[in-house]
Amino acid sequence: MEFVEGDRINDIEALKLKFGSPEKVSSALIDIYARMVFLYGHVHCDAHPGNIFIRKQPNGKPQIVLLDHGFYCTTGEKFRRQFCELWYSLVCVDYEKTK
């Protein structure tokens, strides 16, 4: 176990102060969750603001720190692929494939 310092993901004022805008942080959060779900089929199932910290890396970019790793699930390969296809069809506005 290790002690981790950082700001909570919902502390908008701290994010603005450290990173200029919360959008930089939200982009990093979206990236990490997209990778977990769409590439690895691995999901952190307790993602509330108390379990998501942000800290500044030496290069100034935000680093997402996920806490409380007691509840994960891993999807099967078939579900992961189908879920990817669902989101791809939604983004491409392919309603037939979405059905």
Closest of 19, 17, 9, 12 to residue 57, by C-alpha? 19
Which pLDDT value is given to residue 1? 72
Which pLDDT value is given to residue 39? 94
Instruction: Let me know if residue 57 belongs to a domain.
Output: yes
Is the distance from CB of 51 to CB of 66 less than 8 angstroms? Answer: yes
Percent of the chain scored above 90 by pLDDT?
76
Cα dihedral 66→46→27→81 (10° resolution): 110
Q: With 80 as the cut, is the pLDDT of residue 70 above it?
A: no
Residue 26: other Cβ atoms inside 10 A: 13
* Confidence band of 21 (pLDDT split at 50, 70, 90): confident
Report residue 81 as tokens: 């692929």
Of 7, 11, 46, 94, which one is the catalytic site residue?
46
| Domain encompassing residue 42 | 7-98
Question: Mean pLDDT throughout 3-30?
Answer: 91
Report which of residues 72 and 83 the model is more confident about: 83
Instruction: Let me know if residue 48 belongs to a domain.
Output: yes
Instruction: Let me know if residue 86 belongs to a domain.
Output: yes
Q: What is the pTM of this model?
A: 0.78
Instruction: Let me know if residue 29 belongs to a domain.
Output: yes
Instruction: Let me know if residue 49 belongs to a domain.
Output: yes
Number of compact structural domains in the chain: 1
∠ CA 16-22-23, nearest 5°, is: 140
Catalytic (active site) residue 46: yes
Instruction: Let me know if residue 33 belongs to a domain.
Output: yes
